[in-house]
Structure 1
Amino acid sequence: MKNAIAFFLLFIFTLNLGGTYVIFKIQQHQIRREIKQEIKKGISQKDLTSITVSTENENELIWKDHEEFSYKGMMYDVVYVEILNKTTKIYHCISDTQENNLIAQYQKDLQKKQKNKNNRTNSVKTVKFLQKINPLPQKDELAFSKKIQVSNFDYQNNYSPLSLEISSPPPKQVL
């Protein structure tokens, strides 16, 4: 029973630390699988976006893998490539708006978390909540106040250092 509780708490803490990234990756994988299935079924030519790439604008494509890239902030999945000549290609792609929206939402959530982390609003809320439960002592109730405390015992005058002198003779043996 204790092991089950320990594993459950470990799972909750791990999910809190990196769960959003894991969920993001699972959703991204699901979207990519759906797009691949849609491509395999066949897509009409009017649903495709054609992007002409030459050697001058080739560096504007940011490839995620060999079938997916980002161009001007949009994600695209390549359906087929048409090669015009040695320097020019036409990528016939499907616009991946679902994945684009997912990435935008994930980045928005990360920025929100970073803002909350910087502002420390959660810790302020926690302190306010704890003050409602157990209010902090007032100034005159504090243990350390501005009053000077006088000790009852003066250690400096009563200190006697250790000495090796024999202060009394050894006891006599009685027979």
Structure 2
Amino acid sequence: MRTVISLLLLFLLFQPSAYVAFFKLQQHHIRKEIKQKIKRGVPDDELVLLKIAKNSDIASDNFFRLMFENEIRLDGNMYDIVRQEDRGDTTWYFCIHDDKETGLFANLDDWVKREFDKNSDRKSNNDRRLQSLSLWFFGQTGDDRAIKPHFSIAEHPYVFRSKTWFSQPSPPPPQS
């Protein structure tokens, strides 16, 4: 029973890492499959021709990215480069449209978005907790040391919050 609980706790602790490891494993299998397909030879009618100007906006845009030495991501779609030709100011990429890897990256993007949304919800909860704590410690929202550097005991004789001790205490009287 202890081992089951330990494994469950480890799974919960490393769940994001496990997802990334699973993603990398799937990506490795897909790449291996595509490499074998390229080695066997791909007919020209199955290739997709992408013409990318070297000085165009699309080459510097987020929609076009050389992922690895033989992969392109364009508008969220993954392409594996079979060959490329430089023709003046344009590069022609003869590629295989990789549907499996496109789906894999789409799932990864969705997962990252969900995790980010969870973290932003946690962040807003933490901000509310911090605001509550600042009310308890400082008496109003936020740290008001810059506004009122010294606490006036005459105004609140029996309220001792952390801001009471922000200034240096006066030295003790000299002993004779």
Q: Give the counterpart letter for 2:23 in structure 1.
A: F
Give percent identity, aligned residues only.
28
Aligned to 2:110: 108
Aligned to 2:128: none
Shift of 1:49: 0.5
2:60 aligned with 1:59: yes
Can you list the C-alpha shifts for 1:42-86, whole angstroms capped at 9, x where unaligned?
11111100011222333343111111111222111100112223x
SS of the residue 2:81 aligns to: strand
Normalising by structure 1, we get a TM-score of 0.57
Number of residue pairs matched by the alignment: 118
Going from structure 1 to structure 2, the CA distance change for 1:37 and 1:119 (only over 3 Å counts) comes to same
Shift of 1:11: 4.3
Can you list the C-alpha shifts for 1:1-33, whole angstroms capped at 9, x where unaligned?
x8x679746742454241111111111111111
Give the number of the structure whose alpha-carbon radius of gyration is greater: 1
Going from structure 1 to structure 2, the CA distance change for 1:14 and 1:38 (only over 3 Å counts) comes to farther
CA contact (8 A) 2:54 2:91 kept: no
**Structure 2: gaps (5+ residues):** 123-176
Aligned to 1:42: 41
RMSD across aligned positions (CA): 2.6
1:97 to 99, 102, 107: 99
Aligned to 2:139: none
Q: Give the counterpart letter for 1:39 in structure 2.
A: I
Normalising by structure 2, we get a TM-score of 0.56
Q: Give the counterpart letter for 1:106 in structure 2.
A: L
